[in-house]
Structure 1
Amino acid sequence: MGDPRPPGTDAAPARFVTGSTLRHVVVMAATGSVGLMAIFVVDLLSLLYIARLGDPVLTAAVGFATIVQIFAVSINIGMMIAVGALVSRALGAGEIEQARRLAASALVLAVVAAGLVTGLMLPFLAPLLRLIGAGPETVPAARTFLWIALPSSLAMALGMGFSGVLRAIGDARRGMNVTLAGAAVTAVLDPLLIFGLNLGVEGAAITVVVARLAFAWVGYSGAVGVHRMVARPRLAEVLSDAGPILRVALPTVLTNLAPPVASAFLAHVMAGFGTATVAGNAVVDRLVPVAFGGLFALSGAVGPILGQNWGAGRFDRMRATLRDAALVTGLYVAAVWLALLLARAPLTALFGLDGAAADLLAFFCLAGGAIWFFNGLLFLGNASFNNLGFPLTASALNWGRATLGTMPTAWLGAHLAGPEGALAGTGIGSALFGVVGLALAFRTVGVLERRDGANGEAQAPRA
């Protein structure tokens, strides 16, 4: 996995401790968005291809399978965040060898975690699908998709880990290329396998596997082949590093498991309104990352910038980074919201939706911007906590939004106003937890600054 050679000139120093914080935020977020948006767009196309087969049951099945698969993906995302947080902080402090060693150990642990989760989920796919509302007509197709796609989570763990290393050192372009590679593979293979070879759902699942293998290869080429920022893993070092890595990773993984729980609950609520609503919700689920993928990229961009400046003791730049990221969040959501409002009718026609499914998609286009602005603020807060040593705060906020901020409000909204009410109910929790999350992020920077000052005074020589 790693490169035994010491890092040469390609091993990047801390890049984010100087220069405009707004520029760093925009560049990292923009390059991250390109890669993420590419993969989300082709995922949406994949669902579109399935929808074009003319069977709403298959569309719903892929939607349910995606929700189950997100649990495994969330583990990988949590480990990727841990890699980025630890490597960026070590680089900010000038400890390049420590960064290389932590990267190697974290990647090994990420693959092990992905293997364990996959092994635990595969035998229980049918009950898991039924738990989130999949009916007897959708379970077989969803289960087939997952049996093919889920084991590739191990390759995805490697790819996302390498991407975390690349973004931690500030190589936004190569970090973007990891996801672009997967998107390119999906764009080519999906129509070929689904339509050309008549493989349907199985073809979509096979494409997922090949795309994740491409993730891993391109990530390895950048993080190891170019930058040599991953040492050769050694068992003794992995065991020694497991403690500090897991102290960041476990709460981060816990944080990232909250959104799938909220999505599963919402899917369960939507399932009560019939297959058409489930199909509409599946389209909304795939449209969300395409429309608001920039917010995911923005939160990923903030982490390495905060981590390097924390390592360098630049608390003023940390506050500036949060302010700039909140500004970019508002501007981005305003532009996307306008685009959704204008695209309501074309999107409905594109996916061939009518009735309850069309109504749900139209409502999302009307209300989604408000909901996701506050989600974006919460993402920024969570990125701060995960990279600044307070991952349990991120866990508490995310689980608070997934439970108190989603379940009672979605249930009540569904009772009062049907599927649209359920979707609107989730916005209430987003608003509350988003504002609190960003406020606590600024407070966290202040806590670290005071702690750093106290440590400096304690270490100063006395007269």
Structure 2
Amino acid sequence: MDASPSVNEASRKAETPRFVAGSTMRHVLVMTGTGTGAAGLIAIFIVDLISLLYISWLNDPSLTAGVGLATVVMFFTVSINVGLMIPIGALVSRALGARRPEDARRMATSGSILMAMVAAAVSMVLLPVLPLILNAIGAGAQTYEVALNFLWIALPTNVLMAFGMAFSTVLRAAGDAKRSMYATLSVAAVTIVLDPILIFGFGLKANGAAMSINIARVAYLYVGYRYLTRSHDLLEKPRLKAILSDARPFFAIAVPAILTNIAAPVANAFFTSIMAQFGDQAVAASAIIDRVTPVAFAGVFALAGAIGPVLGQNWGAQRYDRMRQTLKDALTFTILYVGGVWLMLVLVQVPITEAFNAPPMTADIVQFFCRVSGFIWFFVSLVFVANASFNNLGYPLLSTFFNWGRATLGMIPFAYVGAHMGGPNGALIGIGVGSVAFGIAAVITAFWTIRRLERQAVPG
């Protein structure tokens, strides 16, 4: 008689979703540090950083500028992929939190296929219009050819990257932080090995870097798939009926999430065009900043992805107190992390520019950015954290509003006026000033959405 309650109790504990119990701060730190978190995202971002670093060692400014412009375009495709990851993470984690594993399995499969289909379509649309895009962001004759060739090699494999990111997201939604990290680390491992071989050994230069990206994406997909099929039962045989039925909730989150995410590459392209007014050295500085920033502040990007499953599972379990605490923990992490990275960038500002063989004007701009990076990225980080909450708690349009608001009203006029008054450094200050109001307002609104969900909840 005594054995049955004990077995039932053990069964209930085994079925308890990981993020519904225990310290919320611990969940935030573990998912940020080991999921597609800091290490994982650094693995993704470091691909661009390493490639540009190797290309800069060829001492050909047109190659460096061409790869820089190409990755501005690729940032657009990656941003769309990240937007497509959001519904997968939100829907799978919500189903797991509500103890519906069959729904989680079906949604993981359908979501991965839908994400890959959209990624393939994006590449097909972009490839024919690359000349228009590259000319619009100020590509010169030689840099145009370098960027065009690079993109024609790398863009077609965007669909492979989408599958890899989808599988990694499912692992993270299930709370498997370690395997999600390993999947994304495979990208960096392949790139580190192949980049010097293809760029220098085979003399392929920028095209070699693009080929390395393609092979890294194959590894990413393979590792993620193997982990999902061997260690988790969260993929099933694709069924057209299931894909079509899941498309509606998927795109209900994905469309506003994509609209939200593409604000960043659009703003980045605008900023590049502003820097182009000050010459090639300013464009080179912009390219270096674009690669150093995501690596240095990878923890912020990781945090935005990490808190989604934690919020989603606790929403499914109707633990609104834990949802509020998760958001508070995320803000605490943001303050400490951004402060630490700011100090680090100030200390290594000179070695960074020396590593890229930066000429005087380029070095001055990059070093100035390092000195003001904390001010800029603290408020940008607040928007990231709030957007993650909006996307996972049923308010994706708020995420769209704040991201586009910061990227337009909070950036364009301030960067333009700053550039007019203080040159490239003034443009950087403008970006930071324009982010203040949107960062603060976004966080306040995030807490408001949790209170509203709690009021709307129907007692079980």
TM over 0.5: yes
- Which of 82, 85, 91 is residue 90 of structure 2 equivalent to? 85
Pick from 180, 184, 200 the counterpart of residue 185 of structure 2.
Answer: 180
CA contact 1:295–1:329 (8 Å) conserved in 2: yes
Q: Which letter maps to 1:91? A: L
Of 189, 212, 223, 2:217 maps to 212
| Equivalent position of 1:294 in the other structure | 299
Query: Per-residue deviation at 1:55?
Result: 1.0
Deviation at 1:377, TM superposition (A): 1.0
Following the alignment from structure 1 to structure 2, what is the Cα–Cα distance between the partners of residues 129 and 305? Answer: 40
Separation (CA, whole Å) in 2 of partners of 1:386 and 1:411 = 30
What are structure 2's unaligned runs of at least 5 residues?
1-13
The one of 22, 43, 57 aligned to 2:25 = 22
Residue 134 of structure 1 aligns with which residue?
A: 139
Measure, in 1, the Cα distance between the counterparts of 2:337 and 2:293. 14
Distance 1:204 1:91 in 2: 40
Q: Give the match for residue 438 of structure 1.
A: 443
1:117 and 1:192 map into 2 onto residues whose CA distance is 30
The TM-score with structure 1 as length reference comes to: 0.94
Deviation at 1:212, TM superposition (A): 0.8
Matched residues in 2 for 1:225 and 1:414: separation? Answer: 53
Structure 1 window deviating more from structure 2 (230-239 vs 164-173): it is: 230-239
Check conservation: 2:386, 2:446, Cα contact below 8 A: yes
Unaligned runs of 5+ in 1: 1-10
CA RMSD of aligned residues (A): 1.2
Match of 2:254 among 249, 254, 269: 249
Assess if the C-alpha contact under 8 Å between 1:385 and 1:394 holds in 2. Answer: yes
Deviation at 1:375, TM superposition (A): 1.2
Alignment match, 2:366: 361
**Separation in structure 2 between the aligned mates of residue 12 and residue 418 of structure 1, nearest angstrom:** 58
Match for residue 190 of structure 1 among 186, 190, 195: 195
Distance, in Å, in 2 between the alignment partners of 1:273 and 1:446 is 48
Corresponding residue for residue 51 of structure 1: 56
| 1:6 alignment partner in structure 2 | none
Partner of 1:34: 39
* Cα shift at 1:13: 5.5
Would the aligned equivalents of 2:308 and 2:388 in 1 still touch at CA under 8 Å? yes
Secondary structure at the counterpart of residue 410 of structure 1: helix
Aligned equivalents of 2:236, 2:320: Cα separation in 1? 30
Task: Say whether residues 1:163 and 2:163 are aligned partners.
Answer: no
1-structure distance, mates of 2:46, 2:83: 23
User: Over residues 385-408 of structure 1, what are the superposed CA-to-partner deviations in whole Å (9 max), with x where a residue is unaligned?
Assistant: 000010010001001111111111
How many residue pairs get matched?
Answer: 445
Q: Contact between 2:47 and 2:187, CA under 8 Å: does it hold in 1?
A: no
Paired AA for residue 29 in structure 1: T
Which residue among 338, 347, 362 is the counterpart of 1:342?
347
Query: Quick one: which of 423, 431, 435 aligns to 2:428?
Result: 423
Q: Is the 8 A contact 1:296 1:379 kept in 2?
A: yes
Which of 219, 222, 228 in structure 1 is aligned with 2:233? 228
Alignment correspondent of 2:280? 275
Q: Contact 1:13/1:169 (CA < 8 Å) preserved in 2? A: no
In 1, the alpha carbon distance for the partners of 2:227 and 2:260 equals 28
Aligned to 2:328: 323
Distance in 2, Cα, partners of 1:12 & 1:226: 17
Report sequence identity in percent.
54
Report the TM-score when normalising by structure 2.
Answer: 0.95
Aligned to 2:6: none
Residue 431 (structure 1) shift: 1.6
Shift in Å at residue 42 of structure 1? 4.0
Contact 2:48–2:71 (8 Å) recurs in 1: no
Other-structure match for 1:4: none
Q: Kindly state the Cα deviation for residue 161 of structure 1 after the two structures are TM-superposed.
A: 0.4
Equivalent position SS for 1:230: coil
SS of the residue aligned with 2:291? Answer: helix
Pick from 301, 305, 315: which aligns with 1:310? 315
Contact 2:80 2:262 in 1 (8 A): yes
Cα separation, 2, equivalents of 1:156 and 1:257: 17
User: Which range moved further: 340-349 or 146-155?
Assistant: 340-349
Q: Which residue of 261, 270, 273 maps to 1:265?
A: 270
Residues in 1 aligned to 2:143 and 2:285: alpha-carbon distance in whole angstroms: 15
Distance 2:299 2:377 in 1: 11
CA apart distance, 1:37:
1.5
Cα distance in structure 2, aligned partners of 1:321 and 1:39: 26
